[in-house]
Amino acid sequence: MKAITFNIETRDGSLERAISIGTLVIAGWTGRDTEAMEKHIRELEELGIKRPAYTPVFYRVAADRLGPASTMQVSGEQSSGEAEFVLLKDGGEVFVGVASDHTDRQVEAYGITVSKQMCDKPCSGTLWRLSDVADHWDALLLRSYATIDGERVLYQDGKVTAMRSPQDLLDQFAQRGGEFADGTAMLCGTLAAIGGIRSAQRFETVLEDPVLGRTLRHAYAIETLPVMG
C-alpha cells in the first residue's frame, strides 16, 4: 500500500496522520442535478466519448496515482483536470479532501478507465474528518482555476450539492459490489467546465467550508511530454 502523510485539520486543531492507500476508485456521473449531469455528458460526447451504461459508475485505477505532488507529466496536450472532493478511509474513519481527476481526453474517447489510468490524481495534503462537515455538507463549495496561455481563469465553480452526497455514493458503491474499507480512496465527481473542457499549464482545486471558515487547496503544474508516435 502507498502511505501518504496528511495533515488532518479538525475543529480543535490539526495533527499529522499517515494513511496507507491500496485502492483508488473514480466515481463518475455522480450528479444529483440530472440537467447539470446531462450537460457534462454532452461536453464529453462532443469529444467522442460514449454515454455511460448506468450512473454512477465506479472506475478502478492504480492507487499510486493519488498523491499531493505539485507537478505532473502528461503525454501530449489532450489532458485536463477536474476538481472533485475525495473520500479516504483509515482506521474506521472517513476523511474528505480535494483532488483533481486529471484525464487524457484523447484516450477517453475509446476507453474511459484507461484514460483515467493515464494521469496522476493530485490531491490536497490536508484533510478534514467527514464527521466534522457532515451536518453542513450541502454548504460546501467546490471550484477550480486553470492557467491557460498564461492567464489564470475560473474553470469550475459550484456547490457540492451538484454531486451525490458522500453516504449516497458509498451506498451506491456497495450496491455495485464495492467495499469502502480502510485503505480506500474515492474521487466523487465533478462540475461542468466554464467555457468547456480544455488543457492548461497549471490547475488549482479548492474545497471551501463557509460554515467553519476554512478551505482545502491543491495546485499543480502540468508538464507536457512530446508524443513521437
Domain count of the fold of the chain: 1
pLDDT for the residue 51 = 81
pLDDT at position 53, please?
A: 78
Assess whether the previous peptide bond of 52 is cis (omega < 30° from 0). no
Domain of 51 in residue numbering reads as 2-225
The pLDDT averaged over each successive group of 10 residues in the chain (229 residues) is 93 95 95 78 78 88 96 94 98 98 86 88 98 98 97 97 96 96 97 93 98 98 91
Determine the pLDDT at residue 2: 78
Predicted confidence at residue 113, as pLDDT, reads 85
- Burial label for 207, CB within 10 Å (0-12, 13-18, 19+), is buried
Helices marked H in the chain? 34-45, 105-108, 112-117, 130-133, 166-175
Cell 499510486 appears where?
64
In this prediction, residue 32 carries a pLDDT of 87
- Residue 21 C-alpha cell reads as 492507500
Q: What is the DSSP string of 164-181?
A: --HHHHHHHHHHTT----
**Which CATH number is 214's domain given?**
3.90.850.10
Strand 2-9: give its sheet, edge to edge.
14-21, 2-9, 126-129, 93-100, 83-90, 184-187, 23-28, 57-61
H or E element that contains 221: strand 214-225
